[in-house]
Structure 1
Amino acid sequence: DEMVVDTMETDEKKRYMHFYNFPAYSVGEIKPMRGPGRREVGHGALAEKALIPVLPNKEDFPYTIHLVSEVLSSNGSSSQASVCGSTLSLMDAGVPIKKPVSGIAMGVITGTDGSFKVLTDIQGLEDHYGDTDFKVAGTTDGITAMQMDVKIDGLTPDMLGIAIKQAKEARLQIMQVMLAALPEPRKVMSPYAPRIITLHINPEKIRDVIGPGGKMINQIIDETGVSIDIEDDGSVFITSADEGAAKKATEWINNITREVVVGELFQGRITRIMNFGAFAEVLPNQEGLIHISELADYRVEKVDDIVKVGDMVPVIVKEIDAQGRINLSHKMAKARLVREELGQ
């Protein structure tokens, strides 16, 4: 669902899109409502830029975010109102943004004698008759976006310094009001929001998840109803409207791709019996050998005296040799279970 940006200058994908709608009736005008104009594009880009630095990484929050600011009435800086409203919207939706962002529009009015006055939170008339419209957005730590329209030849360093100082005071005051309404992002998203779970697996295990001819991945999708996307670096994205189904698919893939560790206890399914021992599947497509000497704590004459194909038996991973072969022990597993029952 990411937006593909393909131009002569850049080729990229956007996972955060901020759209800004400013209908004519919001300022008491009557115009046809056609495509976005200069104001919509510019203000939307400014609000988007202000929030991009605080968005979570894709690894932590693998969602594509589509946010729309609908301006119903305007007598001031609706772009900075969009910044504040969008921050609260993201927090309310459960998006774990790094810091809340607030914004304010500053203005400068100059006199013929060189005197000037910096205005905070300018309204429509002050914007129209003033000499500068200076928008500042940021967190408590600093500024994330600025934009300025100038109707005079330029601004002095004193003008800019005072404007930025007053803007910070106003932004922090607005921030306090915002945080009083919602102090932090919600911990849980809406139950109606799709669930996306991200896994990172060994790239060499991708073929095991896909299976021959896509058999394994199609089985997971058919039985759980999820969508699965796998990237070449081993990133796996599991998407589902049902959180339970997503967790089931996650557990399934984890079992396929996880690697056993020496000392782990499993319930293994006997798949083959040989003269020298039995092979048991401990994880999907991963099996190990239970040598005949590891079947019991006494001498075993025939393997099928102890286990048969299809049996589920407790086994412990005794060793993984240099070739990656798994050696299991049934007698060690039984001994551990007895100790656990006795509380030792």
Structure 2
Amino acid sequence: MKPESKKYSTTVGSQTYTFETGKLAGQAGGAVTFGTGDNIVFATATMGGVREGIDFFPLSVDYEERLYAGGKIPGSFFRREGRAHTEAILTARLTDRPIRPLFQDGMRNEVQIIVYSHSSDGINPLDILAINAASAALIISDIPWNGPIAAVRVGRINGEFVLNPSYAEIDASDLDLRIAGSKDAILMVECGADEIPDNIMVEALELGHKSIQPLIDLQMQMAKEVGKEKREVTLFLPGDEIKKKVFNRVSGPMNELLDKPLSKVEFYTGMTAIKTEAEAEMTTVPEGGNPDDFMPVNMFREAFELAEQAIVRERILGEGKRPDGRTPTEVRDIWCEVNTSPRAHGTGLFTRGETQILSFATLATLGEAQELDNLSPNHTKRYMHHYNFPPFSVGEARFLRGSSRREIGHGALAERALEPVLPNEETFPYAIRVVSEALSSNGSTSMGSVCGSTLALMDAGVPIKAPVSGVAMGLITDDKGRYKILTDIQGTEDHLGDMDFKV
């Protein structure tokens, strides 16, 4: 018997959007299609068990762009889709970011979200559809999750905002803002703009958050009417007594360590020494000892991380003291060089604190522009920005693989920042490739790549409209309403803070 599907529709801007569920992928935890007009994506969300020995939440989000959605055959030798291309990886990352924070702390079950393109008119992008479809698949599934979320794209043409613009409208727009959020808050912002005023950006954010509300309401209706009962999961979190014992044991040594300005190595070496000593003392049962007087190693380690987070955050909120001794608004020391390679067309070495980027710019004829084989109407790409993050940049040794999703994402971030200032093809008929090598990392190598690449482009003689720089901004908050905005965050502040906002 053919299963009965249910459809849910609403309007955002001038377009009607429809969720459908109940017909496809009945064995998935949750499955939906979502689309408008001839554009449809399909998303599933499924939860597995707990892999033994892991101490993190194994969430994976994949977007698989199938060219049959646009009536195309892949151009590869085997005529089938291979590894995910750059735009597909960026869509997966875009979907992951607002979804991940809404899972419960301590969750260790494997969760996999897969999104396929099912239909594309080649006129409208599918990335925003993917985020909404993934959220809907999760909210109606048996997976515990504190959603839903929704997403929208905001453009601006001739001074007027446009919701979910087409590819052609994006090209004509001086703003390309993608925003995702819950009913009460913004969770993710990714934006490129042509130097628009701050107040216009605030208006765009407000419009975006207001515009996602119908999609959130629709998903809540879906969860109520067709949603599965949520499964019970074990949360691997230490109890209050363990947290208190560990905090009391390590707070003194931690505060003593943090009383002096610390480099990255000094911070992590010091914290590791405190952790190793306390772990041996609180988890190792001596011969003849009572095991009930000691705690499991995994619970100690979870409690230690919570104690470290609480102490570093309280010092920032209460005293304005950051781990490296800076004030909240202080930027680390900066130094730069150009022309470091005699044969490269342009080079820029940018160092901010312990973060160092060396960027190389190469010019070529337009015939060397990248050829694209995807569902967009763009067939070539004239400006390419690639980012590499070798293990030595963080003092590690490991195998060199192909480009990671993080590396692809960071390269695209720097590319988006620099694209608006590049000369147009008519006045500067060259293909441009910039490669940013992360030589040392302690906070926002992506923004260091923007700065280093500006230097490299100018060194290569590219007549950019204006220099571009970038910085990572952080935020620390608490339940008492206190907050501190941090300028130029380092790795520890990124890991222990509430926001990593790259500007």
TM-score by length of 2: 0.34
More relative contact order in 1 or in 2 (CA 8 Å, sep 6+)?
2
Could you say which structure has the larger radius of gyration?
1
